[in-house]
């Protein structure tokens, strides 16, 4: 942002101040238009600032609870049996493997039993079943032997009963599987609750941030029918609550001075009407009810002509302006 010129160095501080006010109002108007373009739907626009701040506190608390729930679920999921990857191939978590829940002693006992059953099989079906079970046991043993020691130690901690073992070592496989499903569903629900809480909080925060750029009251109504019209002396800034009292009183005094100058100019023009006043008609006689109207209209016309640099030979207001002054 470019540094502003100091009022102390200006030839006419009022001109510099008026320029700053105009730029500020234009900037506010641009921000308002941009906000209406980018935020066409504002579901929270009808709420007061107090209500919005209360809602944001509740939304913040809800989001905090959702974050705590997500952290708790993720901790539970992190400590539960998980799929493993060995030699680049994925394998299910041990509760979902045929012999994954078997301890080392149970694996040895099962292997010996199926070897015996395979040797004593009387039918081809019994032999095939014993061979399939034997192959599954060998596959589980080979998988455990191929695992990195950290993964194998983690599974043993979750499966082998010991004083420091995980709680899954003291429950049956069906309960562990149900717990895995429940934790996954709980994690999805917690993530969804966190996303919803974040959306609500973001909507409320966006509405609060938007209100810092929007006016907190209806737009100032332009009045061009009074003794000092808006186009000659902008009165919008007088309605700004942020305007200091000293500046407000000074601007009001300048407006009164301008109104006095208009009155004097109207009297002078009525005493010696120039040629450009011909469209205004003849000057009413003194004391006539239209005399003050003619004087005021002539003074405003003169101010308009000076502001628009209307040539002397052109009557009245001159040509219609092509853009807003």
Q: For residue 41, is it left (φ>0), alpha (ψ between -120 and 50) or beta?
A: beta
Q: What is the pTM of this model?
A: 0.46
User: Which among 179, 170, 115, 106 has a CA at the least distance from the CA of 144?
Assistant: 106
Instruction: Give residue 126's pLDDT.
Output: 78
**Cα–Cα dist 170/240, whole Å:** 73
Token pair recorded at residue 65: 């609870």
Query: What pLDDT digit, counting tens, does each position of 79-92 carry?
Result: 888 888 888 889 89
**Ramachandran sector of residue 125 (left: φ over 0; alpha: ψ -120 to 50; beta: rest):** alpha
Please name the residues in contact with 133: beta carbons below 8 A apart, sequence gap of 6 or more: 110, 114, 117
> Which pLDDT score, from 0 to 100, does residue 68 have?
93
Residue 245: Cβ within 10 Å count = 7
Contact 216, 210 (CB under 8 A): no
| Closest to 45 measured CA to CA, from 242, 210, 284, 253 | 210
What's residue 70's pLDDT? Answer: 92
Domain boundary assignment for the chain:
63-196, 218-325
| Selection from 277, 315, 314, 278 nearest residue 299 by Cα | 277
- Residue 293 tokens read as 């109207």
| Helices within the chain (DSSP H only) | 13-38, 49-79, 104-119, 124-146, 149-159, 173-211, 245-271, 291-308
Cα atoms found within 13 Å of the Cα of residue 324, Cβ hemisphere only: 2
> Length of the chain in residues, anyone?
325
**Segments of the chain scoring below 70 in pLDDT:** 1-8, 10, 32, 35-40, 121, 213-223, 321-325
- Rounded to whole angstroms, the Cα distance separating 232 from 224 reads 9
Bridge partners of residue 85, in order along the sequence:
90
How many angstroms separate the CA atoms of 102 and 108, rounded? 9
Within 10 A of 168 (CB to CB), how many other CB atoms are there?
Answer: 21
The CA distances from residue 220 to 8, 93, 110, in Å, are 30, 69, 89
Place of tokens 């009387």: 122
Q: Quote the pLDDT of residue 8.
A: 66
């Amino acid at each position: 942002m470019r540094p502003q010129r100091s009022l102390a160095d200006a030839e006419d501080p009022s001109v510099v101040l008026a320029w700053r006010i105009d730029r500020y109002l234009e900037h506010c108007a641009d921000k308002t238009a941009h906000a209406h373009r980018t935020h066409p739907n504002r579901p929270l626009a009808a709420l007061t600032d107090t209500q919005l701040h209360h809602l944001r506190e509740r939304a913040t608390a809800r989001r905090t609870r959702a974050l705590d729930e997500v952290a708790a679920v993720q901790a539970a999921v992190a400590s539960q049996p998980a799929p493993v990857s060995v030699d680049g191939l994925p394998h299910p978590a041990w509760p979902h493997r045929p012999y994954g829940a078997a301890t080392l002693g149970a694996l040895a006992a099962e292997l010996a039993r199926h070897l015996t059953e395979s040797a004593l099989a009387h039918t081809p079906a019994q032999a095939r079943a014993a061979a399939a079970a034997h192959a599954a046991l060998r596959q589980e043993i080979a998988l455990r032997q191929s695992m990195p020691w950290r993964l194998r130690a983690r599974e043993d901690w979750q499966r082998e009963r010991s004083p420091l073992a995980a709680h899954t070592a003291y429950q049956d496989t069906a309960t562990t599987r149900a717990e895995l499903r429940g934790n996954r569903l709980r994690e999805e629900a917690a993530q969804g609750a966190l996303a919803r809480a974040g959306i609500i909080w973001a909507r409320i925060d966006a509405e609060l941030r938007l209100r810092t750029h929007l006016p907190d009251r209806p737009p100032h109504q332009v009045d061009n029918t009074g003794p000092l019209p808006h186009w000659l002396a902008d009165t919008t800034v007088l309605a700004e609550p942020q305007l200091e009292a000293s500046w407000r009183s000074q601007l009001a005094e300048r407006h009164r001075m301008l109104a006095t100058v208009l009155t004097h100019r109207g009297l002078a023009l009525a005493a010696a009407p120039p040629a450009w006043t011909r469209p205004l008609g003849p000057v009413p006689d003194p004391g006539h009810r239209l005399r003050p109207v003619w004087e005021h209209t002539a003074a405003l016309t003169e101010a308009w002509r000076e502001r628009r640099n209307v040539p002397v030979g052109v009557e009245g207001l001159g040509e219609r302006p092509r853009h807003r002054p």
